[in-house]
Amino acid sequence: AQSVTQLGSHVSVSEGALVLLRCNYSSSVPPYLFWYVQYPNQGLQLLLKYTSAATLVKGINGFEAEFKKSETSFHLTKPSAHMSDAAEYFCAVSPLSGGYNKLIFGAGTRLAVHP
């Protein structure tokens, strides 16, 4: 069965510092991979997705993620954190087969950005 592990339920960085949020997946074949973000009092918003076209995926708000098959990882990064990046981030996988978008989520990582 597929699963997602996000290392670190809370991450705190200084404004301007590198953001690194870790995600590892378990799957017999490379699945589709997603990062979603939830800002306070809002719904989940798609940041980026990996669909096998390119291993380095660029998303919105300066975020990017790299798919590494050998490490079964899909870590999310941003070179310079902004105060507005404070939110909860979710990594998710979707089966390659199945025909529809049934997402399996990690437990989430709450990012705090301090001045």
Partner 1 sequence: EAGVTQFPSHSVIEKGQTVTLRCDPISGHDNLYWYRRVMGKEIKFLLHFVKESKQDESGMPNNRFLAERTGGTYSTLKVQPAELEDSGVYFCASSQELGGNTEAFFGQGTRLTVV
Region near partner 1 per CB under 8 A, out of 11-19, 29-37, 60-68, 73-81 = 29-37
Biggest distance spanned by C-alpha atoms of the chain = 45
95 Cβ partners below 8 Å, 6+ apart?
A: 2, 31, 32, 102
Q: Is the dihedral of CA 51, 71, 66, 45 positive or negative?
A: positive
Which residue type, as a one-letter code, is found at position 44?
L
Which position among 13, 23, 25, 31 is part of the footprint of partner 1 (CB under 8 A)? 31
Which position among 4, 11, 23, 113 is part of the footprint of partner 1 (CB under 8 A)? 4
- x/- mask, partner 1, residues 53-92, rule CB under 8 A, reads -------------------------------------x-x
Query: Which among 8, 29, 2 is positioned nearest to 20, based on CA atoms?
Result: 8
Which position among 28, 29, 56, 97 is part of the footprint of partner 1 (CB under 8 A)? 97
Residues that bind partner 1 (CB under 8 A): 4, 9, 31-32, 36, 41-46, 49, 51, 90, 92, 94-108
